[in-house]
Amino acid sequence: MIVGEVEYRHELGLHAALEVKSASPFYFDDANTASNPRSTGRTCRPTAERAGERPMREGTDAPGVPKTDIPDVLRARQKDRALSYYSRIADGYHRRVARGPLRVLRDRERAIVLELARLLPGLSLADVGCGSGFYALEAKRRGLRVCAMDAVPEMLAQLDGHVDEVRLVDVEALSVSGAFDRVICAGVLDFVADAERAFANLCGLVAPGGWLVILAPCAGPGGWLYRAEKMLFGLRVNVFEPSWLQERAHRYGLRPTELRRPLPINVALSARRG
């Protein structure tokens, strides 16, 4: 999530997020939806209600989240736009974003995220929204068993054979529960249509004793600058209050342990199950 000419993060989906909802700790827009040619014909209705007012069940995966007609495949109009965009730039994406002066900032982000994740050889790790493998490949190099997940097949194709498993999946439709010792989700909540459901699903992936690390845009001047930069590419993003991330970790059965600010535009949260 570097502000600059090059799109740099690995994202899962997108929805309109220009309108600020002052009552909510993250902001998104009631965008009209459109069908996705990859979908089965159902529609997705991104919600604009305050997430904290929706009844949830603690310590559960997606089944504990009220059904809001979330599809199995990304489908909202803005998500379609993001999928198409990242499909187009997937070839050579890793090389483009790993060079130049911005690399120093990216390396700082990765160092902090991986420090929070407490990587140990032999553990299982899910990189949700892996893109071209910025985190997944480093985790594999350190001896972890890595499952790379993304909603853009062209991104996943670059990792096939370089990690233990690849999965084409939307963070809002995850169904696996308690499967991984470590879960990293960096630069993904920026673009989801239902942040509440996405967060619940991420927490559900964490095995007992495991850790979740999330990197997301932070509300404030840096976050709004990041949002403005993404709008240059026709993309709109969520920005989050750190307290929202902490509260949702508690809600879904994890214990927040640390908040860090890798860059002025973002915040990293670590949380543990058990």
Residues 6 or more apart whose Cβ sits within 8 Å of residue 65: 56, 196, 197, 200
How far is the C-alpha of 118 from the C-alpha of 115, rounded, in Å?
Answer: 5
Model pTM score:
0.73
How far is the C-alpha of 242 from the C-alpha of 262, rounded, in Å?
Answer: 13
Strands 145-150 and 255-260 come out as unpaired
Structure confidence at residue 214 (pLDDT): 98
Percent of the chain that is helix, strand, coil (3-state, to 5): 30, 20, 50
Structure confidence at residue 97 (pLDDT): 67
Domains and CATH numbers, the chain: 51-272 (3.40.50.150)
| Paired strand residues for 149 | 128, 167
Which stretches within the chain are classed as H helix? 77-89, 93-97, 102-117, 136-141, 153-157, 195-205, 221-231, 242-251
Structure confidence at residue 89 (pLDDT): 75
Residues in the chain where the model's pLDDT stays below 50: 1-75
HSE (side-chain half, CA atoms, 13 Å) at 211: 18
User: Residue by residue, what is the 3-state secondary structure of 28-93?
Assistant: CCCCCCCCCCCCCCCCCCCCCCCHHHCCCCCCCCHHHCCCCCCCCCCCCHHHHHHHHHHHHHCCCH
* Separation of first and last alpha carbons in the chain: 31
Full strand arrangement of the beta sheet holding 266-272: 165-168, 145-150, 124-128, 180-186, 206-217, 266-272, 255-260
How far is the C-alpha of 151 from the C-alpha of 167, rounded, in Å?
Answer: 8
Structure confidence at residue 249 (pLDDT): 98
Q: Which residues of 201-222 are buried (b: 16+ CB within 10 A; e: fewer)?
A: bbbbbbbeebbbbbbbbbbeeb
